[in-house]
Amino acid sequence: MLRRLAAVTLLLLPAVIAADKWTRYESEHFELLTDGGKSRALEVLEQFERVRWFFGTTMKIGDPPIKPRIVVFGNEKLFRTYAPRETAAAFYTGLPFRDYIAIGPLGEGQARRTAVHEYIHLLVKHSEMKLPLWMNEGLAELYSTIDEYGGKIRVGNPISYHLYQLNDNWLPLKRVVAADHESAEYNKKEHVGLFYSTSWALMHMLQLEDDMRPKFNRFNQMVLAGAPVPEAFEKAYGMTVDQVEGHLKGYVRGNSVRVAIFDLKFDKSKLKLEGTPANPRDYQMALADLSMATRDCAAATAKANAVEAEFPEAPEPHVTKGYCAWGYGEQDRTKAGAEFIAAARKGSPVPEVYQAALGLMPPESRRQDAPAILEAALRLSPDSHPLRMSLAGEFLMQKEYDKSYLELKKLKSIKPSEVDQYFPLYIQAAWWSKRYPEAQNAADQYVRVAKTPEAIERAARLQRLAEMREPKQVQERPMAYAPPPPPDAAGNLLPPRQEPEVAGSKVHGKFVEFVCGETDLRLVLEVNGAREAYWLANPEKVTALTKSGDPVDLSCGKQKGEEMELLYEPGAGPQGTRGQIRIMRWL
């Protein structure tokens, strides 16, 4: 019996080894893992480098902080385990910590074009271009056909499926240019093919047709600046949407479709690609991440646990398990926080992990651990603005005002999307460290650039703060509220703390912002869809009741929208508030 069992084991062993035979290739901008052949892997990697080189040569693009990982499957059954649709030849998934592009073993030409289409979406995302849906899809389809022709780069090869669709049917252009991700044109089966075909044809015409091409840059800049597409058509081309549609019909139903030839030559000799046997840590975590992308966190966690058992110092399993517990699966904040903190301590290369660890960190350990975790993250990503501002915010809350100010001074430029985080931090750090002229200049600048009603209100408050010159006039921010009394020495639970009898009114809403840094502190609740501010005059005299009884660590700025009930004294507060808070209760 033992001999028969040994024989069966030997027969099965080669199949197991073959199933786990993965190869890893790495180029300057990509990592590729495959369980298939070398020639196909190199062809795919070369095409991705060609596309990335072309976009880097012809326009401004943004590379992701971590190389996208391409997984080229040789096993059709394994590919179908992760593919989002039965008909998918390739797919892209942008996880919070890494971009993945997976390519199946069948339909190679279509698979590669689909994969390049998705990669162009990745480039657009990391370049922070805000494109309408039709423009994003049309751009990706147009450039998915990039190839070499006579030693040059050719763009715009006709896609027969799209031409066939548009000769047989038509989707009104007004609906196409107005569509978003929730629109029927993008989601209903009978429309989605036409939406892609029309988007491709429109972008093809605007960029390649002789009459339209010279005016495309103006049109593009207007759209990127937020102008409605119909307005951009009229100003750039002198045409209404209906007139553009008529022109487009003639373009796609004519006798020829133009292509563009770029006098550029991709030097693939510099690639020098050599494959090496893939470490199980790499390919098993790739499969775990693809499982997570399909919301199969049970499979993802099982794979991650197996990798952790074999490679106990690896941070990757904790990253995947952390995200599974924090948005892809069970919504367990405590578990997610523990996994992210473990990943940070093991040196994860993913900047977002450090921010997640910080956001989910227990209040009692935040003061000690948060700056160290953020400083470790900045050693990996010294140019990360979000990490730098998070560290400055931690120093500000811990009253290390000089440290906060010096961190913010390391930022040499600010993106428009960062204005509402940067200026409140900088103004407060400069003011509390007694750099009053700098605080005043920054506040005046913030008033000029603030856009939303909330930002305009915040800028005005901070400008009033910056005009003062005596920190004694300003209440220090509360760091924590005292918890209820613990059990006595014998372990007996003490009676629950009683609410003091305070006259006043009650309000129930979502705690959405904590405003601090001037002569008063304010809690902002969202009540029936409207924002209402309540004055926190003296935190030490306010009763704070939490569900768990744990201390409350309030940070300035936007909050998570937790349900809260306030008992307040109406009218007993500064202008812009509804009254003075007496009791705060988290529901």
DSSP line for 458-481: HHHHHHHHHH---GGGSPPPP--B
CA-based torsion, 365, 371, 376, 377: positive or negative: positive
Q: Based on the fold, state whether residues 249 and 192 are members of the same structural domain.
A: yes
State if pTM tops 0.85.
no
Distance CA 334, CA 430 (A): 35
Q: Based on the fold, state whether residues 510 and 467 are members of the same structural domain.
A: no
Q: Based on the fold, state whether residues 442 and 509 are members of the same structural domain.
A: no
Within a domain: 292? no
**Going by C-beta distance under 8 Å and a sequence separation of 6 or more, which residues neighbour residue 179?**
133, 134, 185, 186, 195
Tens-digit pLDDT profile for the chain (587 aa)? 333 333 333 333 333 333 458 999 998 889 999 998 888 888 888 888 888 888 877 776 767 878 899 999 999 999 999 988 777 788 888 888 899 999 988 656 666 787 788 888 888 887 777 889 999 999 989 988 888 887 788 888 888 888 888 888 888 999 999 988 788 877 666 556 888 899 999 999 999 988 899 999 999 999 988 899 999 999 999 999 999 999 999 998 876 667 778 777 777 766 777 888 999 999 999 999 999 998 899 999 999 999 999 999 999 999 999 999 987 767 788 899 899 999 988 988 887 888 788 888 887 777 778 888 888 888 878 888 888 998 898 899 888 999 999 999 999 888 888 999 999 999 999 999 989 999 999 999 999 988 888 889 889 889 888 888 665 544 444 333 233 333 333 333 333 333 333 446 788 899 998 887 555 688 899 988 889 988 887 766 677 777 665 556 677 778 888 888 888 877 777 777 888 888 888 88
Q: Based on the fold, state whether residues 161 and 37 are members of the same structural domain.
A: yes
User: Residue 548 belongs to a domain with what CATH number?
Assistant: 2.40.50
Q: Give the model's pLDDT for residue 109.
A: 63
User: Residue 178 belongs to a domain with what CATH number?
Assistant: 1.10.390
Q: Based on the fold, state whether residues 426 and 562 are members of the same structural domain.
A: no
Q: Based on the fold, state whether residues 126 and 216 are members of the same structural domain.
A: yes
Q: Based on the fold, state whether residues 23 and 141 are members of the same structural domain.
A: yes
Within a domain: 313? no
Within a domain: 529? yes
Q: Based on the fold, state whether residues 441 and 581 are members of the same structural domain.
A: no
Within a domain: 326? no
Tokens for 244?
A: 């553009």
Helix ranges (H only) for 63-130 are 76-82, 108-126
Q: Based on the fold, state whether residues 70 and 205 are members of the same structural domain.
A: yes
Query: Of 213, 245, 269, which residue is a domain's last?
Result: 269
Tokens for 53?
A: 């080189």
Within a domain: 323? no
Tokens for 119?
A: 């990669």
Tokens for 163?
A: 């031409």
Distance CA 164, CA 406 (A): 61
Q: Among 66, 63, 64, which residue's Cα sits nearest to residue 348?
A: 66
Quote the number of domains for the chain.
3
**Cβ atoms < 10 Å from Cβ of 93:** 17
Owning domain of residue 40: 19-269
β-pairing, 276-277 with 505-515?
Answer: unpaired
Q: Based on the fold, state whether residues 447 and 562 are members of the same structural domain.
A: no
* Residue 383 vs residues 67, 159, 539: alpha-carbon distances, Å: 16, 41, 37
Beta bridge partners of 100: 69, 93
Q: Based on the fold, state whether residues 30 and 72 are members of the same structural domain.
A: yes
Query: Of 433, 455, 474, which residue is a domain's last?
Result: 474
Within a domain: 379? no
Query: Of 269, 290, 307, which residue is a domain's last?
Result: 269
Counts of helices then strands in the chain (DSSP H, E)? 23, 15
Tokens for 123?
A: 């480039």
Q: Based on the fold, state whether residues 414 and 545 are members of the same structural domain.
A: no
Whether 405 and 435 have beta carbons less than 8 Å apart is answered as yes
Within a domain: 36? yes
Within a domain: 241? yes
